Amino acid sequence: MAIGFPQCPLVKAWSYSRLGTYQSCPLKFKLTAIDKMEEPKGPAMERGNVIHGLAEAYLKGEKKTLPKELKLQEGVFKDLRARIKKAPHLVEVEQMWGFTSDWQLTRWDNWTGCWLRVKLDVAHVDEPTNTVVITDWKTGKFRPDNLQDYVKQLGLYGLAALLKYEHLGPTLKVQPRLVYLDNPTIYQGGSEEPLTFVPKDVAKLKKLWEKEVKPLFNDRVFAPKPNQWCGWCHFRKDNGGPCQY
The residues of the shown chain that bind ligand SF4, judged by CB under 6 A, are: 25, 27-28, 224-227, 229-230, 233, 235-236, 243, 245
- Burial (0-12, 13-18, 19+ Cβ within 10 Å), 30: buried
Alpha-carbon span 67 to 105, nearest angstrom:
35
Nearer to ligand SF4, 142 or 245 (CB): 245
Nearer to ligand SF4, 88 or 226 (CB): 226
Nearer to ligand SF4, 107 or 237 (CB): 237
Three-class secondary structure assignment of the chain = CCCCCCCCCCCCCECHHHHHHHHHCHHHHHHHHHCCCCCCCCHHHHHHHHHHHHHHHHHCCCCCCCCHHHHHHHHHHHHHHHHHHHCHHHEEEEEEEEECCCCCEECCCCCCCCCEEEEEEEEEEEHHHCEEEEEEEECCCCCHHHHHHHHHHHHHHHHHHHHHCHHHCCCCEEEEEEEECCCCCEECCCCCCCCCECHHHHHHHHHHHHHHHHHHHHCCCCCCCCCCCHHHCCCCHHHCCCCCC
Nearer to ligand SF4, 129 or 239 (CB): 239
CB of 149 to ligand SF4, least distance (A): 17
CB of 136 to ligand SF4, least distance (A): 25
CB of 178 to ligand SF4, least distance (A): 25
Nearer to ligand SF4, 25 or 125 (CB): 25
Q: Could you tell me which of 150, 138, 154 has the C-alpha nearest to residue 197?
A: 154
Nearer to ligand SF4, 21 or 139 (CB): 21
**Do 130 and 167 touch, CB atoms closer than 8 A?**
no
Nearer to ligand SF4, 179 or 243 (CB): 243
CB of 12 to ligand SF4, least distance (A): 22
CB of 244 to ligand SF4, least distance (A): 7
CB of 27 to ligand SF4, least distance (A): 4
CB of 230 to ligand SF4, least distance (A): 3
